[in-house]
Amino acid sequence: MNSGAQGQGQAPIFILKEGTSQTRGKTAQSNNIAAAKAVANSVRSTLGPKGMDKMLVDSMGDVVITNDGATILKEMDIEHPAAKMIIEVAKTQEQHCYDGTTTAVVLAGELLKRSEDLIEQNVHPTVICEGFRLAAEKAMDILSEHGIDVNSEQSKMLNEVAKTALTGKSAGAVREFLSDICVRAVICVGGEEDGERYVDLDDIKVQKKQGGSIRDSTLIDGILLDKERVHSGMPRSVTSASIALINSAIEVKKTEVDAKIQITNPNQLASFLDEEEGYLKGLVEKIKSSGANVVICQKGIDDLAQHYMAKSGIFAVRRAKKSDMEALSKATGASIITNIDDLNSEELGHASKVEEKKIGDSDMIFITGCESAKSVSVLLRGGTEHVVDEIRRAFDDAVGVVSVAWEDGTVLTGGGSVLAALSRDLRNFAEGVGGREQMAIEAFAGALEVIPRTLAENAGLDPVNTIIDLRKAHAEGKRNFGVNVYEGGVKDMLAANVVEPQRVVEQAIQSATETATMILRIDDVISAKSASGGDMDAMMGY
Ligand code: ADP
Ligand code: MG
């Protein structure tokens, strides 16, 4: 179908390229809503402690097993434009808050589902959007009054935040253990500037190492290199390490152009080799005289140079990653040197210990007790690659939420309690607004209950009874009551230590609202013919 304007008796004027298609009005809307709802439904069953995992197999046959909404949606090959917008919700949530991705997506889907009913009753989409905007704004006001301060019992609260984020993941069994690592790591690297707390998660370097059990994971106050020393004659460990960071090769410099040296007698060869040897010896001498006893080189180290270093008792590593060099520089205070002639004691960094240790079946280097130690490493272990990968994702979520909670200093109770409370407050608020917007605000309030309802469903509880119990508890002023996924019914979530950062909840509500309204405002979809020549319209259901 092509769009054109018909003049009086004139031939139609086509403004769009041949093959472009256009879908308008309710059809466009209901297609978009259906696609968005389909995405939300695909992750619904993973929500909460009793949520299930998904196994994703890509076209190459690689397998990912996860419970993480953002990961699932990233791996799914989704084409529909409205569905893609929902995936953006998950991405935004992940970037800003590290957690709450499934919540945000499920909420966006529910908001759209409720809008569909309103559109059917002839409430105009712009009215719905306005109502949703008012509701979300009011929700933010209400939340800002109900945050729980974490500072009084900081490590306990942060631990609970981490544990809540880890519940229901395959890492759930060791959540105490992992939470403890997360909290110690965040408190260690966290800083304060102008009264604002901040955590740079780049200062927490995570290394995965397959083998062993999850419980063999450790937090290292310093840096961990997945490397071994270059020469077995070097010491295995160096105390009071003075570290040189060098980003050029410790080798005889190769000429840029190919040159041939004609050697005519054995003496010449010997003197030529002597010269090379002398040069390398000189380099090592320079390193030694700077006072360095550890050398981390970003490039290669010549065999002969390795030998001289080993003889001088220097511990050396070659081909370190650039990111590791930068982290080492930050942690030990060393400057990264290109020319060994520039090396002197001022350029060196310091750590109380540099040590090579066997982890699993390979060696790793531990650099601990760093001088300017605002950098920690976490070594994650797990029996198989899939386990380590999922532990890594779980750890990233948990350390992320702990950092958010530490920065903001406020948390809210989980298990759907906050959303149930908001739902009730917004229903009251709607009454005062009146008109058609009131209907939209009521729809918004109802949509928030999708989270406790889904938590109940996934836990095998009766969702209707659970919502009734929840509403009853909240009517009695028990604001912290949420779904008791383990025993059924409802329960005080603060007492059960189910807490999550306020920012996670706020962001989930905001991005779900923004995306839902964005999708609702679309009443015209104009799509170009797909490049592959396939029938884009049929695929998208237009
Ligand atoms: P998301 O991707 O949205 O973080 P999750 O699968 O991690 O999804 O589930 C998060 C939801 O589970 C939150 O609503 C949280 O409050 C809830 N939750 C976590 N632990 C518990 C618990 N012990 N009891 C009840 N609800 C919980
Ligand atoms: Mg989560």
- CATH code for the domain in which residue 461 is found: 1.10.560.10
Decide: 92 in ligand 1 pocket, CB within 6 A: no
CA quadruple 500, 505, 508, 513: dihedral, nearest 10: 170
Note whether residue 114 is domain-resident: yes
* 71 part of the active site: no
Note whether residue 48 is domain-resident: yes
The C-alpha angle with vertex 228 and arms to 222 and 230, in degrees rounded to 5, equals: 125
Q: How far apart are CA 483 and CA 490, in angstroms?
A: 5
**Are 76 and 46 spatial neighbours (Cβ–Cβ below 8 Å)?**
no
Judgement on whether residues 251 and 367 belong to the same structural domain of the protein: yes
Judgement on whether residues 351 and 441 belong to the same structural domain of the protein: no
Note whether residue 210 is domain-resident: no
The conformation of residue 73, written as its DSSP 8-state character, comes to: H
Q: How far apart are CA 196 and CA 485, in angstroms?
A: 36
Whole-number Å distance, alpha carbon 197 to ligand 2 midpoint, is 23
**Are 402 and 186 spatial neighbours (Cβ–Cβ below 8 Å)?**
yes
**Are 347 and 242 spatial neighbours (Cβ–Cβ below 8 Å)?**
no
Whole-number Å distance, alpha carbon 164 to ligand 1 midpoint, is 7
Judgement on whether residues 363 and 264 belong to the same structural domain of the protein: yes
Judgement on whether residues 124 and 259 belong to the same structural domain of the protein: no
Give DSSP secondary structure letters for 327-362: HHHHHH-PPEES-GGG--GGG-EEEEEEEEEEETTE
Judgement on whether residues 513 and 437 belong to the same structural domain of the protein: yes
Q: How far apart are CA 459 and CA 451, in angstroms?
A: 12
Give DSSP secondary structure letters for 274-301: HHHHHHHHHHHHHHHHTT-SEEEESS-B
- CATH code for the domain in which residue 275 is found: 3.50.7.10
Identify any residues that bridge with 13 across adjacent strands, giving them in sequence order.
5
Note whether residue 380 is domain-resident: no
Q: Which two tokens stand for residue 71?
A: 């990961």
Strand, coil or helix: 98 = coil
Residue with tokens 């403004």: 15
486 CA to centre of own chain: 28
**Predicted local distance difference test score (pLDDT) of residue 1:** 45
**Predicted local distance difference test score (pLDDT) of residue 4:** 47
Decide: 39 in ligand 1 pocket, CB within 6 A: no
Note whether residue 540 is domain-resident: no
Residue with tokens 């712009």: 126
Note whether residue 189 is domain-resident: no
Probe ligand 1: pick from 42, 103, 160, max atoms within 8 Å of CB? 103
Judgement on whether residues 356 and 455 belong to the same structural domain of the protein: no
Give the atom of ligand 1 at the shortest distance from the alpha carbon of 46: 6
Q: How far apart are CA 50 and CA 484, in angstroms?
A: 11
**Are 511 and 87 spatial neighbours (Cβ–Cβ below 8 Å)?**
no
Note whether residue 46 is domain-resident: yes
**What's the domain count of the chain?**
2
Judgement on whether residues 230 and 367 belong to the same structural domain of the protein: yes
Domain that holds residue 288: 222-372
Probe ligand 1: pick from 67, 411, 470, 485, max atoms within 8 Å of CB? 485
* 258 part of the active site: no
* 469 part of the active site: no
Judgement on whether residues 363 and 439 belong to the same structural domain of the protein: no
**Predicted local distance difference test score (pLDDT) of residue 85:** 87
Residue nearest atom 24 of ligand 1, based on CA coordinates = 415
* Residues of the chain falling short of pLDDT 50: 1-6, 533-534
Give the atom of ligand 1 at the shortest distance from the alpha carbon of 415: 26
Note whether residue 479 is domain-resident: yes
Q: How far apart are CA 426 and CA 439, in angstroms?
A: 11
**Predicted local distance difference test score (pLDDT) of residue 274:** 83
**Predicted local distance difference test score (pLDDT) of residue 38:** 87
Judgement on whether residues 366 and 419 belong to the same structural domain of the protein: no
Whole-number Å distance, alpha carbon 238 to ligand 2 midpoint, is 42
**Predicted local distance difference test score (pLDDT) of residue 521:** 86
